[in-house]
Amino acid sequence: MRRVNRNQRGRISVKLNGRQVSAEAEPRMLLSDFIRQELGATGTHVGCEHGICGCCTVLLDGVAVRSCLTLAMQVDGRDITTVESLAGADGALNALQRAFRNNHALQCGFCTPGILMSFTDFLRRNPKPSEAQVIEVLSGHICRCTGYTGIVSAVLEAAAANDRNEGDKP
Amino acid sequence: MKPHPFDYLRADSVDEAIKILAEHGDTARVLAGGQSLLALLNLRLLEPAMLLDITGIPDLVNIREVDGKVEVGAAVTQNRLLAWPGLKEKLPLLAAALPFVGHFQTRNKGTVCGSVAHADPSSEIPLSLAMLQGEVILRSLRGTRTVPASEFQVGMLTTARKPDELVTAVRFPAQASRRVAFREVARRHGDFAIVALAAIADGSKIRLGVGGMADRPAIREFPADSDVPDVINALAWECEGYEDMHASSRMRRDLLRRIGPVVIEEALQCAG
């Protein structure tokens, strides 16, 4: 059993984008705040903080979850992947990011990190999605700029590109 | 917003968890997927003194078949049940209903049992459990008891669970009929249902379930040759339908009258 009282801080070790890191957090600290404030990875954005908008979506052990509906305490020893992992070390965008740029799938970009992470998980499980499936997954996100059409096109383009070039992961 | 401070406990076994609940059940909340609980904490609608995390308990992560029933452990996520190979064959109603539960991203973490324990009147999983006449397994230091779905959910966000009890699993009886349909009306796919409807056609009988209308799922069974609009109209008045920012009770009754016959027809059209 692990117990951390409200006035204490507990140590949490995670693998963040392949790197082992650790920091301390109070029990009530949300994973979204832990990633941004304690681990300093500010690519993950925080919007509504009650699971509606989707912009805080990250991968926890490879699956897309809302980091605002997860406690930092719950991820000790686990694997976290954020938007910072997508581009190459040289800053080159990956196929999904390129497709977003090609299709004007973002304007202000606030919601984009969450959407990219959702589709990173989804395309891995469903490499050839239908438009309806893409729209269903996108229903877990709110974007106030694009009207969504560009995002749907971008995801379908990334899936098609991935289909042509299996080596270039979305 | 951020949650009010609380103590965090992660149990390694069911025995440990029920011991903690025996002592702190009145002020603690059980944390599984957290997809409803964390939102309520962030909004400060709940301020529990303690959260008991049960997701690390190995006994609770299984989906297994017991005596013709599918038992889903308390730490099994909704997407895991959706991906379970036997689902379409054994529980076609759940195969139809689960895609409506929250979003892809929340189903990755939200649990089947958590949804039952949360008992939101518009939720798809409690509705499916009631439709299939499933049961909830509760454990405490006092022992284990099995509560039928019809007795578990007693009102809006209220269940028969005692403060010292832990929901360890729910059981769905494997379905005899594969003629099912599920539909719901929501502001966007995955949001809380304004009205959710489930139908099972079994031989000459129809079973219709409605969520989002009353304080708990309403189920009605009637012969297939009944006057369907009449039966549904009676059900609509009986449930009444509550008022909220998304719909008036009148609109809810109207949705039930219009979509009820469609769902029943869809179930009847399914190949048995």
Q: If you average pLDDT over residues B197-221, what whole number do you get?
A: 95
Cβ count near A163 (within 10 Å): 10
Asked if A136 lies within 8 A of B7 by C-beta distance, the reply is no
Q: If you average pLDDT over residues B72-97, what whole number do you get?
A: 97
* Per-residue model confidence as pLDDT tens digits over B140-196: 999 999 999 999 999 999 999 999 999 999 999 999 999 999 999 998 888 889 999
User: Which pLDDT score is estimated for B241?
Assistant: 84
Integer Cα distance of B23 and B31 in angstroms: 17
pTM reported for the whole predicted model: 0.95
Across chain B, what does the average pLDDT equal?
A: 96
Q: What would the CATH number be for the domain defined by B7-53?
A: 3.30.43.10
B58-173 is classed CATH 3.30.465.10: yes
Q: If you average pLDDT over residues A130-144, what whole number do you get?
A: 96
Q: If you average pLDDT over residues A122-129, what whole number do you get?
A: 96
User: Which pLDDT score is estimated for B29?
Assistant: 98
Per-residue pLDDT for B36 more than 80?
A: yes
Integer Cα distance of B176 and B254 in angstroms: 31
Integer Cα distance of B133 and B69 in angstroms: 11
Which domains, from first to last, does chain A contain? 10-82 (3.10.20.30), 95-164 (1.10.150.120)
Q: How far apart are the first and last CA of chain B?
A: 50
Integer Cα distance of B166 and B173 in angstroms: 21
> What b/e sequence results for B116-133 when a residue is b if at least 16 CB atoms lie within 10 Å of its CB, and e otherwise?
bbbbbbbbbbbbbbbbbe
pLDDT band at A162; cut points 50, 70, 90: confident
Instruction: Confirm or reject contact between B104 and chain A (CB < 8 A).
Output: yes
Integer Cα distance of A149 and B139 in angstroms: 49
Integer Cα distance of A61 and A79 in angstroms: 5
**Look-up of token digits 């992961």:** A169
Superfamily of domain B180-269, CATH level 4: CO dehydrogenase flavoprotein, C-terminal domain (3.30.390.50)
Chain B hits for A75, CB-CB cut-off 8 Å, are none
Instruction: Confirm or reject contact between B153 and chain A (CB < 8 A).
Output: no
Altogether, the residues listed in chain B come to a count of 272
Per-residue pLDDT for B131 more than 70?
A: yes
Asked if A7 lies within 8 A of B4 by C-beta distance, the reply is no
Asked if B39 lies within 8 A of A71 by C-beta distance, the reply is no
Asked if B39 lies within 8 A of A121 by C-beta distance, the reply is no
Q: If you average pLDDT over residues B118-137, what whole number do you get?
A: 97
Angle formed by the axes of helices A149-164 and A131-138, nearest 10°: 130
User: Which pLDDT score is estimated for A163?
Assistant: 72
Going from N- to C-terminal start, the domains of chain B cover: 7-53, 58-173, 180-269
Asked if B16 lies within 8 A of A5 by C-beta distance, the reply is no
**What ipTM was assigned to the predicted interfaces of this complex?**
0.92
Per-residue pLDDT for A168 more than 80?
A: no
Per-residue pLDDT for A169 more than 80?
A: no
pLDDT band at A165; cut points 50, 70, 90: low
Across chain A, what does the average pLDDT equal?
A: 95
Q: How close B120 comes to chain A (CA, Å)?
A: 16
